[in-house]
Amino acid sequence: MITTLLDGNRRFVTDVFARERDYFADLAKMQRPTVLWIGCSDSRVPVNTITQTRAGEIFVHRNVANIVATNDWNLSAVLEFSINHLQIPDIVVCGHYGCGGIAAMDETSHDDRYIPIWLNNAYKAKERVDEKLAGLHMEIDSEHRMKLIVEENVRLQLEHLQEYPFVRSAMQEEKLSIHGWVYDMSTGDIRVLQKNTVACRD
């Protein structure tokens, strides 16, 4: 597989890079991405492929279950750089159906040390869905329930995003909108769940 990657890079250099030399020469001087994408690390959700975008267009942060943790210095730095330095006007949090990270919230593993700690940042989404279903006395199949948790997790992470003071300020100054999307691997479609242009109140 490693050889395949390097072979692919040779083809990229001779086919794509050579054909679009001016585009890549401009990009090498400066990037001007207009969207920050916060997505899942899942290999089946490659942002540039599913949105048909090119190098230089999207600033990307990916982690297990597309989580916005407020104690995550990695994401904090990405957000600060995106908003304060790149002046990116739109942030997308994109979940996906069939997310292994979300499914892992139902499993008890005695071997994993870090995954359960990380998923604590998404656990409230599962609780909200289960409470709602219990309140409605609804029984649904596990696949449907998982889809609801994936969607609720996107909403939850949009809430977490607004806990960052500089995200709130950028929204209040109408410089930033945040978007919640879900990608469906079975059809290739992206579903728009939510758009926030105004920061929610404390």
Question: Cβ closer to Zn ion: 42 or 151?
Answer: 42
Binding-site residue total for Zn ion (CB under 5 A)? 4
- Between 142-161 and 123-135, two packed helices, what is the crossing angle to 10 degrees? 130
Question: Cβ closer to Zn ion: 38 or 170?
Answer: 38
Contact call for residue 99 and Zn ion (CB under 5 A): yes
Which stretches within the chain are classed as H helix? 2-11, 18-19, 21-29, 47-50, 73-80, 100-103, 114-119, 123-135, 142-161, 165-172
Question: Cβ closer to Zn ion: 89 or 116?
Answer: 116
Q: Where in the sequence numbering do the catalytic residues fall?
A: 40, 42, 44, 96, 99
Q: Is 162 left (phi over 0), alpha (psi -120 to 50) or beta?
A: alpha
Contact criterion met (CB below 8 Å) for 102 and 45: no
Residue given tokens 């329930």 in the structure block: 145
**Which of positions 122-181 make contact with Zn ion (CB under 5 A)?**
none
Residues 52-91, one symbol each (x = binds Zn ion by CB under 5 A, - = not), give: ----------------------------------------
Question: Cβ closer to Zn ion: 75 or 170?
Answer: 75
Contact criterion met (CB below 8 Å) for 131 and 74: no
Residues 8-47, one symbol each (x = binds Zn ion by CB under 5 A, - = not), give: --------------------------------x-x-----
Provide the CA 176 distance to its chain's centre, in angstroms. Answer: 16
Question: Cβ closer to Zn ion: 40 or 199?
Answer: 40
Closest separation between CB of residue 139 and Zn ion, Å? 25
Closest separation between CB of residue 118 and Zn ion, Å? 12
Closest separation between CB of residue 127 and Zn ion, Å? 19
Planar angle of CA 87, 47, 107, nearest 5 degrees: 110
CA–CA gap between residue 147 and residue 154 (Å, rounded): 11
Closest separation between CB of residue 96 and Zn ion, Å? 6
Q: Which residues here bind Zn ion, judged by CB under 5 A? A: 40, 42, 99, 101
